[in-house]
Amino acid sequence: MNSDSQPGHVDQIKQTNAGVVYRLIDHYGPVSRIELARLAQLAPASITKIIREMVDAHLVKEAQYAEPGSRGRPATGLVLDTAGWHFLALRLHQNTVTITLRDLSTQTLVEEQHGLPHDGQQPLLAPLTELIEAFFTRHQQRLERLTAIAITLPGLSDNTPESAAHELPLAQALTQHTGLPVFIQQEVSAWTLAESLFGAAFGATEVIQLVVDDTVGAGIICDGQLLHKKGRARVEIGHIQVEAQGALCSCGNRGCLETVVSRASLLRLLSQRLPFHPESLLNTETLSIEALCNAALQGDGLATELITQTGEHLGRMLATLVNIFHPQHILLGSPLNAAATLLYPAIGQALRQHALPAYHQQLQLSPTAFPEPGTLGAAALIKDAMYNGSLLVRLLQG
């Protein structure tokens, strides 16, 4: 190691260690310093120094707690001090922006939703900055120590302008305007991160989340890290071909997964097949995914067939990802979860047929904990930045 690289290397170690300690206190608090040193595998002197800095910065505080089986005096442990530490979480979705003021525990303090005046030609910065400034003005009495801004954006394949997903100067420009660090991520990836930090995949380090709704996308976590973490691309599983001569897709290709399992595609298939099934319960219903799932659960043959075929398509595609990434957990975020008792067995059967046995035997398949993530994905970006130390060190330095 050359001498020029040593200071940065030491700073990175300090950042990593501080993040590890913060995460452990969040997960196990109240926790003693001795137990913390054991969990973090750090020397007691290092723990003492890190904790002193966090206490002085009002990010951690001491709390008394009763130790299991003890009748003596309460022990003194460490917990996070999140009071007064705020951040702004934004979600841009379908020409609207949701703005949420949260504290570092991710608790919602204030939330608003506004139309986003964006025609695809002008940069997002101006209207977004105006909305943020107006939010600050309306709620200035609630704002205390504002730490950061986190934003989730749709992916390139969503029905939104490309500039919304690829406006690279946005974070830098907002930072220059507000003086706050800005974290931006594609919303499916951020949702996947939220599920791993707060939801159905809590504690898992290898996760695949599939989102099937108006579009089809995926988020992947490998070794505890979000795939494409430093970019805003998403895993475009919806644009992998499954039918060589299938329907034309919005991406320009034919027979993509999205053309057979997305909301619009399923309703198109349903309307095409329904005239040949006069016995179907759906002949008396307004066609929707909710009606399709309800009919399938009531034993309707056509609805059951469509749900089962959808599960087979998803299972075959997921098998490819399983063979590549060997996840512990697969999550599905979709309105089709309403028919999970039919959909999941079909997915599981296709996985067993097409994935390596050693990779699928211990695999957990479940719905997302959050059917609608809102700004929780943005909150996950802040939590992750505290856990990896990047935002935490900034707060410690004042």
pLDDT digits (tens, 9 = 90+) for 157-166: 333 333 344 4
Nearest to 201 by CA among 332, 76, 105, 301: 332
Q: Where are the domains of the chain?
A: 3-80, 85-196+374-396, 202-367
Euclidean distance between CA atoms 61 and 29, whole angstroms: 10
Judged against a pLDDT cut of 50, whether residue 129 lies above it is answered with yes
Residue 160 pLDDT: 39
Residue 15 φ/ψ region, left for φ over 0, alpha for ψ in the -120 to 50 degree band, beta for the rest: alpha
Task: Report pLDDT digits (tens) over 302-324.
Answer: 999 999 999 999 999 999 999 99
The beta strands (E) that lie in the chain are given as: 60-65, 75-80, 85-93, 96-103, 108-115, 145-153, 182-186, 207-212, 216-222, 225-226, 329-333, 364-367
Euclidean distance between CA atoms 81 and 85, whole angstroms: 8
Q: Which band of pLDDT confidence, cut at 50, 70 and 90, is reported for residue 379?
A: very high
Strands 364-367 and 216-222: unpaired
Euclidean distance between CA atoms 165 and 311, whole angstroms: 29
Instruction: Decide whether 85-196+374-396 matches 202-367 in CATH topology.
Output: yes
Euclidean distance between CA atoms 132 and 16, whole angstroms: 31
What is the average pLDDT across 112-117?
Answer: 88
Euclidean distance between CA atoms 368 and 191, whole angstroms: 9
Euclidean distance between CA atoms 223 and 206, whole angstroms: 6
Top-tier CATH class for 85-196+374-396 = alpha beta
pTM: 0.90
Task: Report pLDDT digits (tens) over 334-359.
Answer: 999 999 999 999 999 999 999 999 99
Residue type present at position 378 = A
Task: Report pLDDT digits (tens) over 297-306.
Answer: 999 999 999 9
CATH superfamily, region 202-367: ATPase, nucleotide binding domain (3.30.420.40)
Instruction: Show the tokens assigned to 308.
Output: 């089962």
Half-sphere exposure of 130 (CA within 13 A, CB side): 9
Residue type present at position 386 = M
CATH fold of 3-80 reads Arc Repressor Mutant, subunit A (1.10.10)
Q: Are 201 and 371 in contact (CB under 8 A)?
A: no
Q: Are 243 and 317 in contact (CB under 8 A)?
A: no
Q: What are the residues whose beta carbons fall under 8 Å from the beta carbon of 347, sequence distance 6 or more?
A: 311, 312, 314, 315, 318, 332, 365
Residue 124 pLDDT: 78
Least confident of 142-156, 253-267, 335-349: 142-156
Task: Report pLDDT digits (tens) over 15-26.
Answer: 999 999 999 999
Task: Express as a percent the part of the chain with pLDDT over 70.
Answer: 91
Q: What is the mean pLDDT of the chain?
A: 90
Nearest to 396 by CA among 75, 21, 138, 73: 21
Euclidean distance between CA atoms 392 and 174, whole angstroms: 20
Residue 8 pLDDT: 64
